[in-house]
Structure 1
Amino acid sequence: MSLNPGSIELTLIYGKPGELGRTTEPQTFPALLQRLHSCFSVLLLPAEIGVALLKAPGLTRARIKQSDGTLIEGTVRCVQQNYFELVEDHQPA
């Protein structure tokens, strides 16, 4: 497990793929990003920003770009306050 405090560029996707939905413009936020065994743990800072973004109904996916250019995209699960878990999409070999 690694814990990476710093800034991330976050894009949130509301609605199911293939259906009418909404995608936010990428925004940079201070966050703590931790890779767990089966997902990424994301804590947005300050808490008020995270709650405002994550409380909207229908949040299903997210895209995170780290400061080193690493891109992580996948399904959002376990949304609580300013915290969520992201299950990364697996790229075919």
Structure 2
Amino acid sequence: MNDRKHEVMPGTILLTLTYGKPGELGRTTEPKIYKAALQHLHSFSAVILLPLEIGVDLLKAPGISRARIQQSDGNFIDGAVRCVQQNYFELVEDPKPR
């Protein structure tokens, strides 16, 4: 993932989406770079993706269940997706092992 194809710059994220419920038939997308606004709130992260056309991908059946985000600083956020609307979704981060 360190090749130029997946170089995450400030203001962009590398996003992988999982459709369907865990343990059931579903699919996972190839990682793709998007311009994004990412806001970390108390219990979730709010994600707005650009371009607006991404909303079509977010709303595909059977629906997004999980997402993995690599930020420009190299950190990852993995978790369950909730509240999908057009180019916006909320990501509830998985608990970190202690």
TM-score normalised over the length of structure 2: 0.85
Equivalent residue, structure 2, for 1:34:
39
Distance in 1, matches of 2:59 and 2:26, equals 16
**Structure 1 residue 92: Cα displacement:** 2.5
Higher strand share: 1
Query: Any stretches of 5+ residues in structure 1 without a counterpart?
Result: none
* Secondary structure at 2:23 match in 1: coil
Distance in 2, matches of 1:53 and 1:43, equals 13
Task: Provide the aligned length of Structure 1 versus Structure 2.
Answer: 88
Query: Any stretches of 5+ residues in structure 2 without a counterpart?
Result: 1-9
Distance in 2, matches of 1:65 and 1:52, equals 21
RMSD: 1.1
> Matches of residues 1-93 of structure 1 in structure 2 within 5 Å?
6-48=11-53, 50-57=54-61, 58-93=63-98
* Secondary structure at 2:39 match in 1: strand
Runs of 4+ off more than 6 Å = none
**Identity rate, percent:** 65
Distance in 2, matches of 1:19 and 1:52, equals 22
